């Protein structure tokens, strides 16, 4: 049996996504900027995809800009907002557990002279809201915060943050990295009242190398790219048409099936979590387990076992999981900055693995995973003489 439980790293593209992409390469290969029919037909398809993404986010389609993925959306949002609001101040806020595509931008901005507040998280992976409140200043220009953490699945209190800044005289801009939240959490950018939001195609059974940035009307954002002025001048470069059409189809599906997909994920996560708690001793759930957590991510430390060994043992049985985030898991001996900030010991960090579920997984797959996991953990612990 093959069980793919690494959907936080990436997901399998849906059949309809693949079909629309192939069709676009075979038939609709025109450049949307061309004035002839081949271009105009593609421009129409792009419009449809923009509408699909906008609808899924609860946004106006004119506020959606296609990018090359989550990383680019995050970079564009942060760098573009600061460029566009240079005179407003020199202070920016983020958290200590962001994805590198946000955290490393802030580090480079710090080197360039911006003052940065990196907000701490508690043991559960949720930011310290008092510390956040106290960090706000008159010259705070931008806050960038993730909705759902990719490694542990905890949800940040975006609503609360927005209501706190609403009362400020000079309201900072707020950017939300919603890459792990899109398709898993029911939100609407208009109701949420964020200024900027990043999403990515390959986390929602769409294609890789495509994403979008939502920019609320009136938000001053300067382009960080220079070229042919595509995407209303914000993101120059000939559009990745197959990717955009694939993203549109994936976004529409996510919107249409949000309730059924999330309840399926919660159901599977509950089965997995309960069985692990009941059948395996000396474990630690990292972050919140069900409440306060996204429906697809479950991060657990198995005491005395290295996550990497567990990963490869499960792989032998056809089960694919991850240790921490995909991006950091290949850098040997570098512990996850997220788990570190949550106060885990070196052993707990070393023993951490992440299961990330999709609505496409089945109960049988979860039962098979539990059976193999219990067996492997038992064997590995016997080898190291723990039991
Ligand atoms: C929270 C978060 N932000 C940003 C990214 C980067 O997205 P992309 O892979 O589309 O560049 C990821 C991907 O792992 C993520 O999980």
CATH, residue 270: 3.90.1150.10
CATH number for the domain that contains residue 208: 3.40.640.10
How many domains is the chain partitioned into structurally? 2
Q: Which residue has the tokens 């914000």?
A: 234
Q: Residue 289: its pLDDT value, please? A: 77
Q: Is residue 207 within 6 Å of ligand 1 at its C-beta?
A: no
Q: Is residue 324 within 6 Å of ligand 1 at its C-beta?
A: no
Residues 251 and 262 in one domain: no
Question: For atom 7 of ligand 1, which residue has the closest CA?
Answer: 70
**CA separation for the pair 52, 205 (Å, rounded):** 15
Question: For atom 5 of ligand 1, which residue has the closest CA?
Answer: 70
Residues 322 and 211 in one domain: no
Residues 25 and 81 in one domain: yes
Residues 242 and 296 in one domain: no
Q: Residues 214-271: pLDDT tens digits?
A: 999 999 999 999 999 999 999 999 999 999 999 999 999 999 999 999 999 999 999 9
Residues 188 and 55 in one domain: yes
**CA separation for the pair 362, 273 (Å, rounded):** 15
327 is catalytic: yes
Q: Is residue 144 within 6 Å of ligand 1 at its C-beta?
A: no
Residues 353 and 208 in one domain: no
Residues 31 and 93 in one domain: yes
**CA separation for the pair 17, 12 (Å, rounded):** 10
Q: Domain boundary residue among 233, 256, 279? A: 256
**Closest ligand 1 atom, residue 211 Cα:** 10
Ligand 1 site-directed mutation target among 97, 200, 208, 324, most atoms within 8 Å of CB: 200
Q: Residues 74-84: pLDDT tens digits?
A: 999 999 999 99
Residues 232 and 313 in one domain: no
Q: Is residue 80 within 6 Å of ligand 1 at its C-beta?
A: no
Q: Residue 326: its pLDDT value, please? A: 46
Residue 297: give the domain boundaries: 3-11+258-383
Ligand 1 site-directed mutation target among 66, 75, 147, 203, most atoms within 8 Å of CB: 203
Q: Which residues pair with 140 in a beta bridge?
A: 91
Residues 336 and 241 in one domain: no
Q: Domain boundary residue among 208, 236, 256? A: 256
Q: Domain boundary residue among 236, 256, 276? A: 256
For the chain, helix (H) and strand (E) counts, in that order, are 14, 12
Q: Residue 310: its pLDDT value, please? A: 96
- Positions in the chain short of pLDDT 70: 324-333, 386-387
Question: Which pTM value belongs to this model?
Answer: 0.96
**CA separation for the pair 66, 181 (Å, rounded):** 18
Q: Residues 34-62: pLDDT tens digits?
A: 999 999 999 999 999 999 999 999 999 99
Question: For atom 4 of ligand 1, which residue has the closest CA?
Answer: 70
Residues 123 and 216 in one domain: yes
Ligand 1 site-directed mutation target among 179, 213, 246, 324, most atoms within 8 Å of CB: 179
Residues 199 and 322 in one domain: no
**Is beta strand 352-356 parallel, antiparallel or unpaired with respect to 196-200?**
unpaired
Residues 344 and 209 in one domain: no
Which residue is catalytic, options 136, 275, 327, 374?
327
**Closest ligand 1 atom, residue 208 Cα:** 10
Kindly give the distance from the C-alpha atom of residue 360 to the centroid of ligand 1, in angstroms, as a whole number.
20
Q: Which residues contact 297 (CB under 8 A, 6 or more apart)?
A: 8, 148, 149, 150, 151, 152, 153, 180, 287, 354, 355, 356, 357
Q: Is residue 154 within 6 Å of ligand 1 at its C-beta?
A: no
First and final C-alpha spacing in the chain: 29
Q: Residue 383: its pLDDT value, please? A: 85
Kindly give the distance from the C-alpha atom of residue 322 to the centroid of ligand 1, in angstroms, as a whole number.
15
> What's the whole-number average pLDDT of the chain?
95
Q: Is residue 101 within 6 Å of ligand 1 at its C-beta?
A: yes
Task: Please state the φ and ψ torsions of residue 30, each to the nearest 5 degrees.
Answer: -65, 165
Q: Which residue has the tokens 């919603």?
A: 178
């Amino acid at each position: 049996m093959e069980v793919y439980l690494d959907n936080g790293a990436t997901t399998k593209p849906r059949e309809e996504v693949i079909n629309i992409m192939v069709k676009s390469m075979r038939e609709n290969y025109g450049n949307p900027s061309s004035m002839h029919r081949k271009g105009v037909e593609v421009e129409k398809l792009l419009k449809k995809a923009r509408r699909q993404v906008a609808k899924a986010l609860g946004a106006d389609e004119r506020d959606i800009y296609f990018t090359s993925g989550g990383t680019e959306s995050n970079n564009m949002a942060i760098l573009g907002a600061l460029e566009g609001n240079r005179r407003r101040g020199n202070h920016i806020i983020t958290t200590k557990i962001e994805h590198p595509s946000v955290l490393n931008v802030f580090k480079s901005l710090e080197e360039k002279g911006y003052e940065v507040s990196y907000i701490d998280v508690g043991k559960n992976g949720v930011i310290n809201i008092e510390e956040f409140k106290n960090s706000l200043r008159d010259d705070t220009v931008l806050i960038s915060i993730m909705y759902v953490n990719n490694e542990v699945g905890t949800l940040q209190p975006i609503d609360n943050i927005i209501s706190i800044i609403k009362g400020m005289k000079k309201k900072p801009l707020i950017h939300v990295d919603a890459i792990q939240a899109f398709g898993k959490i029911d939100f609407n950018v208009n109701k949420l009242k964020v200024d900027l939001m990043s999403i990515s195609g390959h986390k929602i059974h769409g294609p890789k190398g495509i994403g979008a940035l939502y920019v609320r009307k009136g938000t001053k954002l300067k382009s960080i790219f220079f070229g042919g002025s595509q995407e209303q001048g914000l993101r120059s470069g000939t559009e990745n048409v197959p990717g955009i059409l694939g993203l549109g189809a994936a976004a529409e599906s996510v919107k249409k099936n949000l309730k059924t997909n999330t309840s399926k994920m919660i159901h599977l996560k509950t089965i997995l979590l309960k069985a692990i708690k009941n059948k395996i001793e000396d474990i630690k759930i990292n972050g919140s387990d069900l409440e306060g957590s996204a429906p697809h991510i479950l991060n657990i430390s198995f005491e005395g076992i290295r996550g990497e060994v567990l990963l490869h043992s499960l792989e032998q049985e056809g089960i694919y999981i991850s240790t921490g985030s995909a991006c950091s898991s290949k850098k040997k001996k570098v512990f996850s900055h997220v788990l570190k900030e949550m106060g885990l010991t070196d052993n707990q960090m070393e023993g951490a693995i992440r299961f990330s579920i999709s609505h496409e997984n089945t109960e049988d797959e979860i039962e098979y995973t539990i059976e193999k996991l219990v067996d492997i953990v038992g064997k590995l612990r016997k080898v190291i003489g723990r039991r």
